[in-house]
Amino acid sequence: MKLQHKVALVTGSSQGIGLGIARRLAEEGADVVLNSRKEDEQARDAVAQVRALGRRACFIAADVGSVADCRRLVTQAVEQMGRIDILVNNAGIQAHAAFLDADEADYDQVLDVNLRGPFFLCQAFARHLRDSGRGGRIINNSSVHEELPFPNFSSYCASKGGLKMLMRNLAIELAPLGITVNNVAPGAIETPINSELMNEPDKLGQLLDNIPAGRLGQPRDVAGAVAFLASDDAGYVTGTTLVVDGGLLWNYSEQ
Ligand SMILES: NC(=O)c1ccc[n+]([C@@H]2O[C@H](COP(=O)([O-])OP(=O)(O)OC[C@H]3O[C@@H](n4cnc5c(N)ncnc54)[C@H](O)[C@@H]3O)[C@@H](O)[C@H]2O)c1
């Protein structure tokens, strides 16, 4: 087990990729703090899934779009688990709007959750590590859209592009503290965020034609990459993006 004696905080882990990451890190031996905005049945079930793997797990409700919540999340995670070694900034949202119609509320929501939240979570986490004299791992769940334009999702692309540069900058600033900072960039993964797409066979077919691997990704595909970046094997890997997309990024075209 690669992550024994480690504690991971995974934001947005009540479902989808985040839950897949929480489960995989637990399989590797880590104890896990799960999070989403509210503690509902789904959140309790996610915690139960991690505990069933034999690890300690707790749930902390927090809106990562709020800086105050981000700081409280890190403080409470440390209080409840004793420490955090691995931060996975996974929570993310998207808003569909042509650029000419996009409104301020959508822009604020997407940028707050996808970029401002990770910025201040990284800060609170890095301060915790500095104060405890230990190194650690930051892994951001970005997207192929940190590179690839996505018409009608300009706020999403701006947030993920920003996350790419935040990651590169922090890799340099936090290296002296023994903290590595990397992104995973998923392509099209089968999760609730894509439920509309899953119900549109024509659109789904077009997308699959653009994925050389010939299938959508699964949360476990992304989780495996996160587990690697969180492990000692990746101790000299920092400032990089690991693309997990079945070849989509270099093979994509809008119809
Ligand atoms: N599914 C894909 O195809 C895909 C592709 C590339 C990148 N991603 C990225 O992966 C991440 C997870 O996506 P997913 O597909 O699992 O999405 P999802 O919608 O299935 O899950 C998102 C999770 O984040 C939580 N969340 C949403 N807003 C939050 C907030 N303000 N505070 C705390 N938690 C919040 C939700 O409750 C949920 O647990 C996102 O950052 C997304 O941009 C997804």
pLDDT one-digit tens code per residue, 177-197: 999 999 999 999 999 988 888
Distance between CA atoms of 43 and 49, rounded to whole angstroms?
10
Q: How far is the CA of 12 from the centre of ligand 1 (A)?
A: 6
Q: What is the mean pLDDT of residues 105-120?
A: 98
Q: How far is the CA of 32 from the centre of ligand 1 (A)?
A: 17
Per-residue confidence (pLDDT) for residue 193, from 0 to 100:
86
**Catalytic-role residue among 107, 156, 236, 252:** 156
Q: What is the mean pLDDT of residues 198-215?
A: 94
Phi, psi (5° rounding) for residue 129?
A: -65, -45
Per-residue confidence (pLDDT) for residue 255, from 0 to 100:
56
Q: What is the mean pLDDT of residues 122-131?
A: 98
Q: Which residues pair with 217 in a beta bridge?
A: 189
Per-residue confidence (pLDDT) for residue 195, from 0 to 100:
87
Higher pLDDT pick, 139 / 1: 139
State the total domains in the chain. 1
Q: How far is the CA of 252 from the centre of ligand 1 (A)?
A: 22
Ligand 1 neighbourhood includes 78 CB (under 6 angstroms): no
Residue 39 lies in a domain: yes
Phi, psi (5° rounding) for residue 3?
A: -120, 25
Residue bearing tokens 């409470």 = 76
Atom of ligand 1 nearest to the CA of 36: 34
**Residue 225: which domain range?**
7-190+219-241
Do the Cβ atoms of 50 and 22 come closer than 8 Å? yes
Residue 90 lies in a domain: yes
Judge whether residue 16 has pLDDT over 90: yes
Ligand 1 mutation pick, 44, 160, 191, max ligand atoms within 8 A of CB:
191
Per-residue pLDDT tens digits for 141-182: 999 999 999 999 999 999 999 999 999 999 999 999 999 999
- Tokens for 162, please give them: 């920003």
Residue 167 lies in a domain: yes
Per-residue confidence (pLDDT) for residue 252, from 0 to 100:
55
CATH classification at residue 135: 3.40.50.720
Nearest CA to ligand 1 atom 33: 36
Q: How far is the CA of 193 from the centre of ligand 1 (A)?
A: 7
Per-residue confidence (pLDDT) for residue 137, from 0 to 100:
98
Judge whether residue 34 has pLDDT over 80: yes
Residue 60 lies in a domain: yes
What's the whole-number average pLDDT of the chain?
Answer: 97
pTM over 0.95: yes
Ligand 1 neighbourhood includes 159 CB (under 6 angstroms): no
Per-residue confidence (pLDDT) for residue 254, from 0 to 100:
56
In the residue annotation, 236 being an active-site residue is answered as no
Per-residue pLDDT tens digits for 49-108: 999 999 999 999 999 999 999 999 999 999 999 999 999 999 999 999 999 999 999 999
Q: What is the mean pLDDT of residues 106-118?
A: 98
Per-residue confidence (pLDDT) for residue 202, from 0 to 100:
94
Residue 19 lies in a domain: yes
Residue 210 lies in a domain: no
- Tokens for 12, please give them: 């947005």
Ligand 1 neighbourhood includes 36 CB (under 6 angstroms): yes
Ligand 1 neighbourhood includes 63 CB (under 6 angstroms): yes
Q: How far is the CA of 17 from the centre of ligand 1 (A)?
A: 7
Ligand 1 neighbourhood includes 70 CB (under 6 angstroms): no
Nearest CA to ligand 1 atom 36: 12
Percent residues over pLDDT 70 in the chain: 98
Judge whether residue 1 has pLDDT over 90: no
Per-residue confidence (pLDDT) for residue 86, from 0 to 100:
99
Residue 104 lies in a domain: yes
Residue 250 lies in a domain: no
Distance between CA atoms of 171 and 196, rounded to whole angstroms?
36
Judge whether residue 253 has pLDDT over 70: no
